[in-house]
Structure 1
Amino acid sequence: MASHSVCVFCGSRPGRDPAYMADAEALGTALAARDWRLVYGAGDVGLMGAVARAAQAAGGETFGVIPVHLMQLEVGKVDLTRFIVTENMHERKKVMFMNCDAIALLPGGAGSLDEFFEVLTWAQLGLHRKAIVLLNTSGYWDPLLALVRHAVDQGFADASLLDLFTTADTVDGALERLAPTG
C-alpha cells in the first residue's frame, strides 16, 4: 500500500490549453513514481481521467470516489485499485478528504472551486493541517489568487488565510509542496 496519499481536485473537462492535460498526466505519472496513492473523483473524463490513467499506466495505486448520480456523466472509472460510490457530493468530498494526506488543485470549474474552498475553510477553522497546493498551470489560478487576496484586503478574511495553501507553477514544484513532512 502507498505510504502517502494525494487527493487531486480537477476538472471533468480537458480545458482549452493543452498544458492542462499535460500537467494532469505528468502529475499522475509522478505520483505513481513516488509510490503515492492518487485519491480523486473516480471519473474517466477530462483532467480527472487523464491523471488517473497516467497513474495507472505508471503502476500507481488509485482510489476513486464518485456519487451515484455522476456515474454516467463522469464515466465512473471502475478499474481503479479502489472504487467507491457515494450517495451525494458531500459524502464524496468527505471520503476523498479522509483518505488523503495532502490536496492538489488542478484547473477545473465550479466543482473544483467548491472542493478547494471547502478544504480551505476546514483549514481556516483548524480542522486539518494537510497541505493544499494549487497547480497554477499557465496562470490558470491567477484570478482565484487575486480574489482570495481581495477578500483579505477588504477585511473579510484574516491574512493567515493566505498561509493555508501554496501555489506551484510546475508539477515538480507541486510535488515538493505535497511531499510528506517530518
Structure 2
Amino acid sequence: MAGIGVFCASSQRLERRWLDLAHDLGVEIARRGHELVSGGGCVGMMGAVADGARAGGGRTYGVIPQSLVDLEVADTKADELVVTDGMASRKTLMIQRADAFITLPGGLGTLDELFEVWTTAMLDHHRKPLLLFDADGFYAGLLDWLRGATRHEFIRPSAMSMLLVSRDVSEALDLVEAALLGMARQ
C-alpha cells in the first residue's frame, strides 16, 4: 500500500464534473489498496476525493492548518487528521507521508503544492513520483509554458521528465504505480 498525496481545489463553487473526477480518483486509490493523503479539507474537490476514498473502503490521512479548522472545513471523517500551525508545515507533512503525488485541477494553492513537491524532488530531497492530471486540457496552457521554459533552458529536461501527465483516472494510477515499482527496484 502506498500513500497517494492528492493536491486539488477546495473551492465550493465548482462544476459537478470536477467533484465527480475527484471522487472517482478517491475510489480508484482505495480500490487499488492505497491510502489517500490529502490537505484535510471536507469541501470542494478535496472533500470529494476523501469521500471517494472512504466510499471505496480506503484509509484517509488529512493534514490541515488550524486556520482552516477554525473555518470549519476540516475533514473530521478522516481516519487520521493532523492539525498544523500553517500551510508550510502542512505541505512538509504531506510530502513526508505520501509516496507519490497526483495534482488534480485547482488554483493557486494547488499550483503551490505541485511546485513545492516538484522543486523538492528536483533538489533530490525525495524521489517520489508526481503526476499532473490534465482533465479536459485543464493544464494545457501550463504544460505549454513548461515546455517553452524547458526549450529556453529555464527548466532542466530532467525536471520535465519527472512530471507524469495523464487525463484518465486508471491510467494516472497505472503510471504512478509503475513509477513506484521502478523506484523500488533501484
Identity across matched positions, percent? 38
> Is there any run of 5+ residues in structure 1 with no aligned partner, and where?
none
Alignment partner, residue 132 of structure 1: 130
> Is there any run of 5+ residues in structure 2 with no aligned partner, and where?
none
TM-superposed CA distance for 1:76, in Å, is 0.3
Picking from 97, 100, 111, the partner of 1:99 is: 97
Instruction: Identify the range of structure 1 (72-81 vs 124-133) with the bigger mean alpha-carbon deviation.
Output: 72-81
- Cα contact 1:43–1:74 (8 A) shared by 2: no
Q: Take 2:94 and 2:36, find their aligned partners in 1: how far apart are those partners?
A: 10
Picking from 118, 121, 125, the partner of 1:120 is: 118
In structure 2, relative to structure 1, the CA distance for the partners of 1:157 and 1:35 (3 Å cut) is: same
Q: TM-score, with normalisation over the residues of structure 1?
A: 0.93
In structure 2, relative to structure 1, the CA distance for the partners of 1:14 and 1:69 (3 Å cut) is: closer
Alignment partner, residue 29 of structure 2: 31
List structure 1 runs of 4+ shifted beyond 4 angstroms.
Answer: 14-17
Whether 1:170 and 2:185 are equivalent positions in the alignment is: no
Whether 1:81 and 2:82 are equivalent positions in the alignment is: no
Picking from 99, 106, 109, the partner of 1:108 is: 106
Q: Take 1:164 and 1:153, find their aligned partners in 2: how far apart are those partners?
A: 16
Q: TM-score, with normalisation over the residues of structure 2?
A: 0.92
CA RMSD, 1 decimal: 1.4
Q: Take 1:56 and 1:110, find their aligned partners in 2: how far apart are those partners?
A: 27
Q: Take 1:18 and 1:127, find their aligned partners in 2: how far apart are those partners?
A: 37
TM-superposed CA distance for 1:154, in Å, is 2.0
- More helix as a share of residues: 2
TM-superposed CA distance for 1:140, in Å, is 0.6
